[in-house]
Amino acid sequence: MIKNVSVIGAGTMGNGIAHVFAQAGHSVVLIDVAAAQLETALKTIEKNLDRQLAKGTITGPQKEETLRNITMETDIKKGVAAAHLVVEAATEQELLKLEIFKQIDAAAPPDCILATNTSSISVTKIASVTGRPEQVIGMHFMNPVPVMKLVEVINGYATRADVSAAIIGLSEKLGKIPALANDYPGFVANRILMPMINEAIYSLYEGVAGVEAIDTIMKSGMAHPMGPLQLADFIGLDVCLSILNVLHQGLGNPKYAPCPLLANMVASGRKGVKSGEGFYIYTQGSGDLVVSEKFR
């Protein structure tokens, strides 16, 4: 039975993943090399639990129990020593993930399942640096993790069927909706989402329409909660660029080539919400969406 879950990386995805496992009653160890990042993550989890409390979707005691279920650790080896499942949610860099998987493979119990929250890096490649590739799987949560229902479960080339079934069952117990994909570039979510975002950026680049018109058309016309340009800012323009590069290189089809405007924005440090500017400007504390001066 999967009771003890170790989550590696206390960024946006890691803290959301720790939140949902702890809320479902798991003992969670949240691991990050930076102690300050762990403190920030815990504050974020508390803030998001307070939102749920204010909406009446959880009670005060449930909030307290969720927080009690989370411990923090800066030492990866100690943090995974008693894990039944490790979910890696570190920065989306292949070499970093390969190094982390070598470390967790050496320190986690032999029957522990090793999952990665990667949005596009090959699960099969990650599995290949471990001594247990059949127990390595993709568990791709969506941002914001406490809100979004989907878990894209990705079978690596060697993933065992019972491991896949266990992760699907576990995702359901978290109140999520799992969907299974095989390990090809971008899996399903980003293979379909990123070309749409890229096409929205091309529409802007070629002067078909402005930022607000593109987002309004997709929001009001297709019932998307965010327009594609706002969503790109929310995901991170650097992340969008790197996923498009994985699709382009991995599938070898020019239709996935990232728009030059996206490459320029990332090169100039405009990465969306996290850098304060992308297609829109994000001023601290302001709820209004203001189009970047570059596109007015």
198 is catalytic: no
Q: How far is CA 254 from CA 15, 117, 257, 274, in A?
A: 36, 27, 5, 29
What sections of the chain are H helices per DSSP?
A: 12-23, 35-55, 60-68, 76-80, 94-107, 123-128, 161-173, 189-205, 211-222, 228-235, 237-251, 260-267
Instruction: Establish whether 64 is a catalytic residue.
Output: no
277 is catalytic: no
For ligand CAA, the binding residues in 194-213 under the rule CB under 6 A are: none
- Mark the segment that binds ligand CAA (CB under 6 A) among 70-78, 105-113, 146-154, 270-278: 146-154
Binding region for ligand CAA (CB under 6 A) out of 72-80, 125-133, 142-150, 268-276: 142-150
> What is the nearest approach in angstroms of ligand CAA to the Cβ of residue 12?
9
Q: Which residue, 51 or 77, is less far from ligand CAA as judged by CB?
A: 51
The amino acid occupying position 112 is C
How far apart CA 186 and CA 184 sit, in angstroms, is: 6
Q: Which of residues 38-57 bind ligand CAA (CB under 6 A)?
A: 48, 51-52, 55
Does position 143 interact with ligand CAA (CB under 6 A)? The reply is: yes
Of 22 and 76, the one with the shorter C-beta distance to ligand CAA is 22
- 180 burial via Cβ count (<10 Å: 0-12, 13-18, 19+): middle
Catalytic residue among 6, 152, 155, 277: 152
* Residue 19 annotated in active site: no
Choose between 110 and 225: whose C-beta lies nearer to ligand CAA. Answer: 225
Could you tell me if 38 and 61 are in contact, meaning their C-beta atoms sit under 8 angstroms apart?
no
> How many Cβ atoms are within 10 Å of 4's Cβ, its own excluded?
19
- Rounded Cα distance between 277 and 97, Å, is 28
Contact status, residue 266 vs residue 257, Cβ threshold 8 Å:
no
| 226 contributes a contact to ligand CAA by CB under 6 A | yes
106, 148, 192, 290: residue in contact with ligand CAA (rule CB under 6 A) = 148
Please report how close the Cβ of residue 97 comes to ligand CAA at its closest, in angstroms. Answer: 14
Number of residues that bind ligand CAA (CB under 6 A): 17
285 binds ligand CAA (CB under 6 A): no
Give the tokens for residue 144.
């914001």
Contacts to ligand CAA by CB under 6 A: 48, 51-52, 55, 119, 142-144, 146-148, 189-190, 225-226, 231, 235
